[in-house]
Chains A and B, each alone.
Chain A
Amino acid sequence: MRHPILALMLGGLSSAALAQAPELTVYTYSSFASEWGPGPKIEAAFEAQCHCDLKFVSLDDGVAILNRLRLEGRHSPADLVVGMDDAMLADARATGLFSPHGADLSALSLPGGWQDDTFVPFDYGYFAFVYDSSKLKNPPKSLKELVERPDLTILYQDPRTSTPGQGLLLWVKQVYGDQAAAAWQQLAKKTITVTKGWSEAYGMFLEGQADLVLSYTSSPAYHRLAENKQQYRAALFAEGHLPQIEVAARLKSAPHPELAQQFLQFMVSDQVQTLIPTGNWMYPVTQVALPEHFEQNELPAKTLSLSETQIQQGRKAWIQEWRQAVSR
């Protein structure tokens, strides 16, 4: 440009315009925000309609999101969180940090239905151990077999930071009840390591560090669809599987409450829901069509469930039980 001053002024103007676009801060877990997760596509789609700058802040995993919010309290810079799950609702509610979603959820078609004025579900799945069928020829057929068989090695996530880890905590509790501590001790012997988040554990599993990794029944679809690899399978357990519903919510202290509400509504729109199966490798919460490879996923014959009150009353004690059992 021949007029450098003009160029500077124009540059200044455009950056001023950018600076005026509000920045919507969303706390989520790392695999959601990563380049191969659904985060970037959701960000682009939402920014196209909101005239704002959507910023994902990625934390270790779902439970870590709530820990972070509790450490920040009402000073949190976040508007929204994406990636806590149904097992954390009671604890999350008790913090008093969240504000009603104000979104229209009539399009939801979750298996068990959904009634909640604060948390917006955006996907669901079933916890399961995933294995490589070309390496592990006789996978365990039940949680009991996994716990008892001495020849297996596993990777799972810390229940204090990660929602799958917390899911396993509830799963073991429901299957074993008072015997959970003994089961954890047996599991500890075959545990390669307990990771902070899902990404680390799954990454280590793919490197061949263990026979099985705690993930979801829908995880093998990723390998079929994205990598054209057929050998990964979810081990279906006779005791049944625990479902997980992942939720989003906005904070009372959100700097941009209207935009945050708009985003919550966006999370259950067809636009986002069609991204869920092949982005987050989970099931959508509305009736959007599933991709072909996804239909091949096996579904657990039986599902387990714990009530919000059960979890609220037991969680802390169960964490301590786990912590002590595996540290012996």
Chain B
Amino acid sequence: MPRRYWWLPGGITAGLLLAVGLGPLIALLSQAPLAATPLWQDPYLRQVVIFSLGQAALSTGLSLLLALPVSRALHRRRFAGRSLLLKLFGLSQVLPVIIALFGLVAVHGHGGWLARLLSSLGLSLPQYLYGLSGIVLAHLFFNVPLAARWWLQSLERLPANQWRLAEQLGLASWSLFHHLEWPALRAQLPALAGLIFMLCFTSFATVMALGGGPGATTLEVAIYQALRYDFDLQAAGQLALWQLLLSGLILLLHHRWPSEPPQLKVSDHYRRQDGARLGARLHDGASLALVALLYLPPLLAILLSGLRPELWRALASPRLWHSTGQSLLIGTLAASLALGLTLLLLISSRHLRLRLGRRHWAQGLESLGNLILVLPSAVLSTGLFILLMPFTDVFGLGLYLVVLINALASLPYTLRTLQPAMEAVAHRYDRLADSLGLAGLARLTRLEWPLLRPALGRAFALAMILSLGDLGAIALFGSGELQTLPWLLYQQLGSYRLNEAAATALLLLALCLALLGILERGIGGKDADCR
């Protein structure tokens, strides 16, 4: 490609992204003019908004409250299985939500592990898995490990000399916390709280599976219901706009309230000496036990259910393999599309940044890939649905729409993975390539491909894992024939067919772990932070 066309790939992609973003938005606005009053007059919708915000606030607060002592305990203690626990904590961010929900149902559900344990002691377990308590429990499952890991890292970044000083002064545990740990933890609090709040606010699969009726419905689920249950396009459009408004507001607050940038990592891990006291022991033991009880049994349930003999019968189900095929197809297509869009954007933005010196323009171009963060996928899907409905059978296009939404959803992550790698290549080898006259296809095959291959593989695996776990887009566009593993699992959980669900969960888990293996190998042993 001649160099004067540098803008072409990015330009086309930018146009495409803008069209995909604006089209549905216009469709939504035309369907439901932005009017605030009807929402506050409709008690149901008001209740949905309050529930969405309330459950997110409760989940965030409890997650942070539990993660705080856990991160301190993990920082203070070295014990067998600590690094395994941390690795498993990392899993909570890449594990498809619906798999984890299977684990939670197997442990906490009616007839689950806990109920059987209690009934052998002559006690009965109250029902708490459905409704608000279940939703919050699931959100704790996902977010306590996230927050604990994040905070552990900020504690580890505290310089060793500060610890030494504090110990020489003989500070008590409380003073240590007050003067040393808390400032470090507090610095990360807004960013962490914002992230968790956003994750809980937009959580779809959890609320779908554990909501249990209109009593516990969030905006995302209400959008889905308005469209698929009530065929109420106006209500769906209005809910989607509210979702857009509120998530925009949360993002804005998040940015207005900046966290301290994480300092450079200090390599000398100082072993703090304050763990011997009785209070510290009790504190650490209790918080570690609590988090282990919350987090480990559901994971174990997923694995153990794979050992049951019923599994083999369930594995013979043609529906399962049909769904697996569709999941793989959608995942591959979505990951390819995401990668294609990313590369096209980056080719142009790299040129802008490195050759033309337009850093802000380059950044602007790349930020278009973060469309999905501003326009949540439930909003985008609803808009697309309303946009396309007059012209075609939307369900007939379901596969492509799911691929599109999934690809857009993984774009921020693929961009973040590939951007540094592509820039590094240009930085290092541009002059050499130019002096050798290496350009066009030759440059692509000789220079870019071999150097970018690891990053490409990583980005592809990441995008595919995200797509494999998607429930939101498939819920809206799925139909009898279009069925993925998460949707099948959701249905099996809904009708409490746990044996069949076990097979589905295990298969989905195996696929994700295989991809995760590729991911981790690409990174080279470092933590795979995929969110």
Contacts and interface: CB of A to CB of B under 8 A. Distances in A.
B480 A160 contact: no
Interface in B349-401: 385, 389-396
B319 to A, nearest CB: 11
Contacts of B392: 75
Nearest to A207: B496
B519 interface: no
A64 B212 CA distance: 18
A160 B229 contact: yes
Contact of A207 (B111, B127, B394): B111
A49 to B, nearest CB: 25
A58 B479 CA distance: 9
Contacts of B44: 320, 323-324, 327
Interface stretch (B78-86, B213-221, B283-291): B213-221
Nearest to A33: B480
A160 B213 contact: no
B258 interface: no
Contacts of A160: 225, 229-230
Given A75-B392, A158-B229, A195 B494 contact: yes
Contact of A203 (B212, B391, B496): B496
A193 B212 contact: yes
Interface string A176-188: 0000000000001
Contacts of A70: 231
Contacts of B217: 327
Nearest to B109: A209
B127 A192 contact: yes
A57 B214 contact: no
Given A67-B229, A67-B230, A72-B394, A200 B480 contact: no
Prevailing SS type, chain B contact patch: loop
A324 B47 contact: yes
Contacts of A12: none
B201 interface: no
Given A160-B225, A203-B495, A207-B496, A71 B394 contact: yes
Contact of B213 (A66, A158, A209): A158
A322 B231 CA distance: 17
Interface residues of A, number: 39
Contacts of B48: 327
A159 B231 CA distance: 13
A323 B51 CA distance: 14
A182 to B, nearest CB: 15
Interface in A204-224: 204, 207-209
A314 interface: no
Contact of B43 (A75, A76, A193, A324): A324
Nearest to B51: A327
A201 B216 CA distance: 18
Nearest to A209: B110
Nearest to B225: A160
Contact of B111 (A191, A203, A208, A327): A208
Output the residue of A199, A207, A322, A328 with the most chain B CB within 10 A: A207
Output the residue of B44, B111, B216, B390 with the most chain A CB within 10 A: B44
A73 interface: yes
A77 interface: yes
Interface in A303-321: 319-320
A173 interface: no
Contacts of B51: 327
B130 interface: yes
Given A188-B215, A203-B496, A324-B47, A57 B479 contact: yes
B481 A57 contact: yes
A59 interface: yes
Given A67-B229, A161-B229, A191 B213 contact: yes
B213 A193 contact: yes
A77 B481 CA distance: 13
B497 interface: yes
Contacts of B497: 203
A75 B394 CA distance: 9
A294 B392 CA distance: 46
B393 A76 contact: yes
B393 A72 contact: yes
Nearest to A25: B480
B106 to A, nearest CB: 13
B47 to A, nearest CB: 5
B277 interface: no
A188 B48 CA distance: 17
Output the residue of B227, B229, B392, B393 with the most chain A CB within 10 A: B229
B480 A57 contact: yes
Contacts of B215: 188, 326-328
A71 B47 CA distance: 26
A208 B496 CA distance: 11
Nearest to A70: B231
Interface in B455-504: 479-481, 494-497
Contacts of B228: 64, 67, 71
Nearest to B481: A57
Nearest to A59: B480
Contacts of B227: 71
Contact of B395 (A72, A320, A323): A72
B389 A195 contact: no
B393 A77 contact: yes
17 contacts: A67-B228, A71-B395, A72-B394, A72-B395, A158-B213, A160-B230, A161-B229, A193-B130, A193-B213, A195-B495, A200-B496, A203-B495, A208-B111, A209-B110, A319-B230, A324-B47, A327-B44
What 6 pairs across the A-B complex have the smallest Cβ distances? A194-B213, A75-B393, A160-B229, A200-B495, A193-B212, A57-B480
Given A73-B390, A160-B229, A324-B44, 11 more contacts: A57-B481, A67-B228, A72-B394, A199-B495, A204-B496, A320-B44, A323-B44, A323-B214, A326-B213, A327-B214, A327-B215
